[in-house]
């Protein structure tokens, strides 16, 4: 997990991931959907370990707590990040793996 990027917004929602409320939500997601969604699409069965926001919450508290989640394995979650880095965006992700660079298409 990268910890080198410090924006006030990122610090605010990084704290949400440390709450019991998020841990319950994450555990519920991984219970409801225990397999990596991207692996399933590729015809593989892999245990998911990451509850990822389908729509990047970008610090939006409502989206963070009520937005749809998807289960991903760590390689898929991290692989998406590495692809962004190869495209030349600022390296830096929040705790959910979302890019922090406002120029990234996910942040538009």
**Pick 36 or 69: Cβ nearer Zn ion:** 36
Query: How buried is 51 (Cβ within 10 angstroms: 0-12 exposed, 13-18 middle, 19+ buried)?
Result: buried
Interaction of residue 50 with Zn ion, rule CB under 5 A: no
Which structure tokens are listed for 59? 């610090």
Contacting Zn ion within 23-42 (CB under 5 A): 36, 38-39
Interaction of residue 77 with Zn ion, rule CB under 5 A: no
Query: How buried is 31 (Cβ within 10 angstroms: 0-12 exposed, 13-18 middle, 19+ buried)?
Result: exposed
Distance CA 78, CA 76 (A): 5
Interaction of residue 76 with Zn ion, rule CB under 5 A: yes
Minimum CB–partner distance for residue 93 and Zn ion (Å): 17
Minimum CB–partner distance for residue 62 and Zn ion (Å): 28
Interaction of residue 51 with Zn ion, rule CB under 5 A: no
Q: Which of 69, 77, 80 is nearest to 25 (CA)?
A: 69
**Residues of this chain that bind Zn ion (CB under 5 A):** 36, 38-39, 46, 73, 76
């Amino acid at each position: 997990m990268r910890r080198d990027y410090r924006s006030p917004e990122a610090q605010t929602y990084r704290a949400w991931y440390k709450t019991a409320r998020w841990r319950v939500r994450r555990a519920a997601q991984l219970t409801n959907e225990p397999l990596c969604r991207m692996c399933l699409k590729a015809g593989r069965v892999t245990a998911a370990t990451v509850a990822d926001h389908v729509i990047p919450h970008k610090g939006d508290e409502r989206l963070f707590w009520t937005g749809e989640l998807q289960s991903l394995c760590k390689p898929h979650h991290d692989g998406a990040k590495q692809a962004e880095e190869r495209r030349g965006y600022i390296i830096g992700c929040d705790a959910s793996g979302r890019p922090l660079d406002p120029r990234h298409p996910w942040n538009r």
